[in-house]
Amino acid sequence: MGKDSKDTANSSLEQVSDIHCFGGRQLRYRHRATSLPCTMNFSLFLPPQAERAPVPIVYWLSGLTCTDENFVTKAGAQRVAAELGIALLAPDTSPRGEQVPDDPAAAYDLGLGAGFYVNATQAPWAEHYRMYDYVVDELPSLVASSFAEIDASRAAIMGHSMGGHGALMIALRNPSRYASASAFAPICAPSQCPWGIKAFTHYLGDDRSRWAQYDTCALIAGTEADIPMRVDQGEADQFLEEQLMPEKLVAALPPGYPLSFHRHAGYDHSYFFIASFIEQHLRFHDLYLKANP
């Protein structure tokens, strides 16, 4: 484990930890994020192949209440990523710090840990809650300028729950940036479920026409893109009917859209579900990352 500043274009990038894992390195960094603005952490797995040549990258977006560390400690993704030669980057789920506003009621579904991957426009959220810009622009630029081990031009994106919403939404809005996208138990129609309505009202205001740009169902219904997608959903998920609404996503698909949807009896919303099927997701992304060298 070390604490070193990386000599890059971003002088604020500081290594927090470096742990050997499946022949690769599980790293954690902190840096001053200009888009948010605050100090942010992210976790990065570099597979052993990165020592020989730049490798592609898959971004992981986590769900409500999570940080950058949940995925790397619970999903068991490093074994398969090391086999395939894929880097994995997991950012935090919201801005952090004393200056960053939080829900006064300390609810888990608004404020810290609940950034929803949007650019907030409403006070007091607008200055810091710009997770869309952070994920789409700032992090990829940081990767490209700071890590010669990664080929930032070969990227895919995936996530869980709120992060599944983020991954599918971001891919649909930026299809040229990602070879593929996938999600575990995503919030498919945030404009129509309690979690999304609460977050969008606070972050974006009452004008629901502004919400559509962050709603996967609205985006996919009108898209001309054909980015390959995979969605896995547990049928014992406690949030399935009220919050996730995958049937709305399936109904919104344009004819022939390349989305494969998989239901799994008995699985819930937890990381046990993610760990059970993370290998299939990484192999799905590997197929398209290799097809787009």
Catalytic machinery residues: 161, 237, 269
86 and 282 Cβ atoms separated by less than 8 Å? yes
> Which residues, including other chains, have CB under 8 Å from residue 73's CB and lie 6 or more apart?
none
Does an H or E element contain 243, and which?
Answer: none
84 and 282 Cβ atoms separated by less than 8 Å? yes
d(C-alpha 2, C-alpha 16), whole Å: 6
Strand boundaries in the chain, DSSP class E = 14-21, 24-33, 38-46, 55-61, 87-91, 150-160, 181-184, 229-234, 259-264
246 and 261 Cβ atoms separated by less than 8 Å? yes
Task: Using alpha carbons, select from 39, 22, 147 the residue that is nearest to residue 91.
Answer: 39
8 and 29 Cβ atoms separated by less than 8 Å? no
